[in-house]
């Protein structure tokens, strides 16, 4: 159950706006921030509280009444799921997990002009990227002057399958993030997934 949850959350995040912005043509955000996030894919909606600083990000969400935390390090292409009730942590390597392979995608972008999202000033861009394995991401990203991807509507193709993924940030606040929020607590027990277990299995 832990493996399924970890893989699903990690792949969803790397298939979302984060893959297009933080790993794509815009680079990582230039300021730390917090926000509420809604990611939608495959008919599933995941609401989360986001804490982000550079390439590192924390997403707190509730699944089936239980709090789960996803720590993402896009520089390392790693994701770690924290289960506070059990005080356990499991690292997921998403290098080869569908759209998690976005690190080697070659991108093109086209600026479509400014478009505010409520009180947040943003610029709308058409983005398209592909690699030699047939992975492809195409759609629209709204990004702030600080490179924060506040909204994205993307068609993500990986392993011969295309899914529509969207992300929206709300209640955006720019400001320092406690570094402790972006690391695994010292008293957590690390759970290692069995060797050879692909994302989404187990």
pLDDT digits (tens, 9 = 90+) for 108-131: 999 999 999 999 999 999 999 888
pLDDT tier at 170, thresholds 50, 70, 90: very high
Average pLDDT score over residue span 16-32: 65
Domain count, the chain: 1
Average pLDDT score over residue span 149-167: 87
> Do the domain assignments include residue 129?
yes
CATH of residue 115: 2.50.20
> Do the domain assignments include residue 17?
yes
> Do the domain assignments include residue 195?
no
- Asked whether 35 and 170 are in contact (CB, 8 A), the reply is yes
> Do the domain assignments include residue 194?
no
> Do the domain assignments include residue 124?
yes
> Do the domain assignments include residue 199?
no
Domain span holding position 136: 2-184
Output the pLDDT for position 18.
43
Each residue of 35-92: pLDDT tens digit? 999 988 877 888 899 999 998 999 998 877 888 898 888 777 778 889 898 899 988 7
> Do the domain assignments include residue 190?
no
Nearest to 28 by CA among 56, 1, 69: 56
> Do the domain assignments include residue 116?
yes
Output the pLDDT for position 106.
86
């Amino acid at each position: 159950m832990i493996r399924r949850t970890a893989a699903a959350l990690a792949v969803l995040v790397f298939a979302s706006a984060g893959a297009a912005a933080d790993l794509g043509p815009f680079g990582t955000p230039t300021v730390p921030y917090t926000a509420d996030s809604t990611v939608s894919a495959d008919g599933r909606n995941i609401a989360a509280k986001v804490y982000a600083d550079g390439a590192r990000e924390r997403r707190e969400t509730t699944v089936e009444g239980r709090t789960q935390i996803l720590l993402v390090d896009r520089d390392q292409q790693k994701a770690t799921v924290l289960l506070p009730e059990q005080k356990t942590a499991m690292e997921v390597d998403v290098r080869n997990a569908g759209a998690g392979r976005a690190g080697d995608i070659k991108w093109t972008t086209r600026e479509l002009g400014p478009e505010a999202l409520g009180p947040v000033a943003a610029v709308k861009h058409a983005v398209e990227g592909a690699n030699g394995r047939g992975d492809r991401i195409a759609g629209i990203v709204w990004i702030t002057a600080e490179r924060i991807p506040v909204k994205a509507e993307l068609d993500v193709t990986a392993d011969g399958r295309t899914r529509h993924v969207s992300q929206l940030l709300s209640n955006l606040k720019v400001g320092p993030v406690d570094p402790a929020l972006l690391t695994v607590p010292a008293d957590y027990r690390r759970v290692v997934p069995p060797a050879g277990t692909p994302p989404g299995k187990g």
